[in-house]
Structure 1
Amino acid sequence: MSLTDIARYRSADPRITIHSWLRGRDIVEFLGLWEALHNPDFKRIEFDTFKKDAGSNAFTFSIKKWNEELGAIGLITKSGRYGGGVYGYSDIALEFASWLSPEFKLYIIKDYKRLKADENSRLSLNWNLNREGAKLRDGKKQAKKLLKI
């Protein structure tokens, strides 16, 4: 997903917005965790040094350096006027959009809660159906026993 396109909704210069986001220590930790979960070639030991510097005034995040030194795959840059920009996996793009817009983040939380409620409702219905089915099977067994007597 294009982080550049997402940033355009809030900024005339999306590069500055993206690089501001990448400066935060919590974002660097998020990206490192994402890489550790999704990328078996991610260099975790080298990441510790990178993470230590994150958040300081002198820290600048370079996606090229991130990818080359740590073997990261979650963020990529493409050059060119059309189709160029910063791209990331959907998890990363959602994190960026959440950082950019608290309103968007609240909609994600609200939708997540709705989906969990729907899931719980379906599971509860399934459990009740299984319970009622078990009652019917037990009732049939009881009736057969009575008929044999």
Structure 2
Amino acid sequence: MTAKIKQIEADGVTISIVNYDSEDYMSLTDMIKAKDGDFFISDWLRNANTLDYIAAWETMNNPNFNYGEFAIIRQSAGANSFKISVKELLSKTNIKCLTAKAGRYGGTYAHKDIAFNFGMWISPIFQLYIVKEYQRLKEIETDQHNLEWDVKRVLSKVNYHIHTDAVKNHIIPKSKYSTDKQWIEYAEEADLLNVALFGCTAKQWKESNPKLSLEGSNMRDFASINELAVLSNLESLNSELIKSGVEKRIRFNNMHRIARQQLEILNKMDVLKSIKKQSDSTYIDEKKKLE
């Protein structure tokens, strides 16, 4: 698991969260610190209700779940001598709701559905803290996503008209195409920027992504904020070079070089962090002020 680590704090306990296969997994190793006394994750797994819950989740979410082997393990639940580790459960039943991570944030991680159940085993109040803080994290992430979408929308429009006006006023009058085909000039200039920045034309992207193309998407919809910032700069630059009558080949070479240079600089920055306040609770707090 090589995902970015996120963290929440529930009742004074810091809990790491990783995204694995597009799902959030919480650290049970962190969570068990909230339980008084010497308890281990294997103690939770001895519980028949725990195993039933895991089996239900796996049946719903994991087509490769080895229910037969799991049923054999379940029969032993409740016996004083019964004990099973996460590692054994993983190897014998191919469950995917639990996993292990090595390294700095190592330990046992569980899918959020299972982690909430584990929180209840620790204590009902602790489980409620976890649910509340997790919901808060998701709300913050949603606000950040919406902010990123707004920024990308603005950036994609910043210099678009400047660029198309340069084509209209300085290329169209000299166009080799008939009036009904002069749109090709606009497409060729747009692709000059696409190739300089993204390395392919709009047509090549559509051919490589037919499903997305049919849905009305294009390569710029999937560009990062940094790429759109550079694209905006290239549109402005290309419009000035067009006005100056610079040959297309020379314009492309300059823009390709500049695109690489600017991306290298911007990729070292966190553009969103420079736009939003430093507090991760900014968006929620602002909403509450309006209520």
Q: Tell me the TM-score normalised to structure 2 length.
A: 0.34
Q: After superposition, where does 1:1-149 map in structure 2 within 5 Å?
A: 1-11=26-36, 16-80=39-103, 82-105=104-127
Is the 2:59–2:65 Cα contact (8 Å) retained in structure 1?
A: yes
Q: Secondary structure at the match of 1:103?
A: helix
User: In the TM superposition, what is the alpha-carbon distance from 1:105 to its structure 2 partner?
Assistant: 4.7
Residue 48 to residue 24, structure 1, CA distance change in 2 (3 Å): same
Structure 1 segments of 4+ aligned residues over 4 angstroms from their partners: 105-109
CA distance in 2, matches of 1:64, 1:19: 10
Q: Percent identity?
A: 38
Residue 76 to residue 107, structure 1, CA distance change in 2 (3 Å): closer
Equivalent residue letter for 1:92:
I
Q: Which residue of 2 aligns with 1:140?
A: none
User: In the TM superposition, what is the alpha-carbon distance from 1:46 to its structure 2 partner?
Assistant: 1.5
Is the 1:11–1:17 Cα contact (8 Å) retained in structure 2?
A: no
CA distance in 1, matches of 2:120, 2:71: 25
Residue 83 to residue 25, structure 1, CA distance change in 2 (3 Å): same
Q: Which residue of 1 aligns with 2:247?
A: none
Residue 108 to residue 8, structure 1, CA distance change in 2 (3 Å): closer
User: In the TM superposition, what is the alpha-carbon distance from 1:10 to its structure 2 partner?
Assistant: 2.5
Equivalenced residues, count? 107
Please state which structure has a larger fraction of its residues in strand.
2
Equivalent residue letter for 1:62:
S
User: In the TM superposition, what is the alpha-carbon distance from 1:22 to its structure 2 partner?
Assistant: 1.2
User: In the TM superposition, what is the alpha-carbon distance from 1:107 to its structure 2 partner?
Assistant: 7.0
CA distance in 1, matches of 2:66, 2:32: 29
Report the aligned-residue RMSD.
2.4
1:23-60 per-position Cα deviation (integer Å, ceiling 9, x unaligned): 11111111111111110000111211111011211111
Residue 79 to residue 107, structure 1, CA distance change in 2 (3 Å): closer
Is the 2:45–2:84 Cα contact (8 Å) retained in structure 1?
A: yes
Is the 2:47–2:78 Cα contact (8 Å) retained in structure 1?
A: yes
Q: Secondary structure at the match of 1:56?
A: coil
CA distance in 2, matches of 1:85, 1:108: 18
Residue 68 to residue 108, structure 1, CA distance change in 2 (3 Å): closer
Please state which structure has a larger fraction of its residues in helix.
1
User: In the TM superposition, what is the alpha-carbon distance from 1:12 to its structure 2 partner?
Assistant: 7.0
Q: Tell me the TM-score normalised to structure 1 length.
A: 0.63
Return 5+ residue gaps in structure 1 as ranges: 110-149
